[in-house]
Structure 1
Amino acid sequence: MAIIIFYEKPGCVNNTKQKAILQSAGHAVKARNLLTQSWSPETLYQFLKERPLWEWFNRTAPQIREGEIVPEKLDEQTALELMVKYPILIRRPLIQIGDRCTVGFDLVKLNAWLNLKNAGEEAKSLDLGTCPRTVRNR
């Protein structure tokens, strides 16, 4: 059993489903509020560094939807500074398992780290990357 630190937006439908998948595979999930966590650029970068910069962002954040912030036009330092200032910009979830950190709910990666067993198979049929509230509001 792994202890998973799971940084989420409380009330997020997909984060709730993601935590349930991890718990059903026998892991302990310690949920943290991503929006109220005190982030530094260095700490945040540990979760994001393996992905391209544009994948660091929550594409449904108001500043991005309204065109105020265009991730593809940012450098890493500016992106990190904006995310520290406006945590709603951070793609969810951020996951920490021991000294390993990642962003997003990547089933392939998590299965390699955790052996999700049947929980991973069930989750493959779910869309855990698109916010159902965003889709409903379009």
Structure 2
Amino acid sequence: MSVITFYEKTGCAGNALQKALLIASGHDVKARDLRDTHWSSMALLDFLAGVPVARWFNRRAPAVVSGEIVPEELDEPTALALMRDNPLLIRRPLLKVGDESRVGFDAAAINAWIGLREVPGKDLEACQRTAAPALGPVFYVQTAGGGAYPCQFAAVTSDADRCKSG
């Protein structure tokens, strides 16, 4: 499977679910907090090139929600400058596998790119603040090879069978 550099906002429930899906699919996820990275315009463009400028932005960023920043009104140089100054504006996650980089978490596109064990029917890029608690806690089970995969046990149902199969 793939080694994925995964730029996230540490503590984000949505990014945690995305990483769990990648790990469950057998990928080696190297998580990095995008706030701790010094972003140049060229580094950002590795992930964003070919994507419309308005889709570069985290729609839940406070400056976007408040209307202070309107992504649809920005040109590329202005958008890059804003993101360099405030990495929370960057749409997450940023994913890098080998020489290829992508922005966002479209599960179907990621499945076609590197493969997923299962493609969820729900939007994993949307904010998960309200959805995550209903899913129950996630536990990581270590494999014989030293990797780990997530297992989730909700109050009513359990995915224990899936967790046993690793």
Q: Is the 8 A contact 2:94 2:103 kept in 1?
A: yes
Shift of the alpha carbon at 1:13? 0.6
* 2:131 counterpart of 1:132: no
Q: Is the 8 A contact 1:60 1:134 kept in 2?
A: no
Q: Is the 8 A contact 2:59 2:65 kept in 1?
A: yes
**Aligned residue type for 2:61:** A
Q: Is the 8 A contact 2:107 2:124 kept in 1?
A: no
In structure 2, how many angstroms separate the alpha carbons of the residues matched to 1:115 and 1:59?
A: 26
Which residue in the other structure is 1:83 paired with? 83
More helix by share: 1
Unaligned 5+ segments in structure 1 are none
Which structure is larger by alpha-carbon Rg, 1 or 2?
2
Q: Provide TM-score, normalisation by structure 2.
A: 0.75
> Matches of residues 98-117 of structure 1 in structure 2 within 5 Å?
98-116=98-116
Aligned residues: 131
In structure 1, how many angstroms separate the alpha carbons of the residues matched to 2:112 and 2:55?
A: 21
Unaligned 5+ segments in structure 2 are 132-166
* 2:124 counterpart of 1:119: no
In structure 2, how many angstroms separate the alpha carbons of the residues matched to 1:12 and 1:27?
A: 20
Q: Is the 8 A contact 2:106 2:124 kept in 1?
A: no
Q: Is the 8 A contact 2:22 2:29 kept in 1?
A: yes
In structure 2, how many angstroms separate the alpha carbons of the residues matched to 1:134 and 1:64?
A: 20
Bigger RCO (CA 8 Å, 6+ sep): 1
Which residue in the other structure is 1:45 paired with? 45
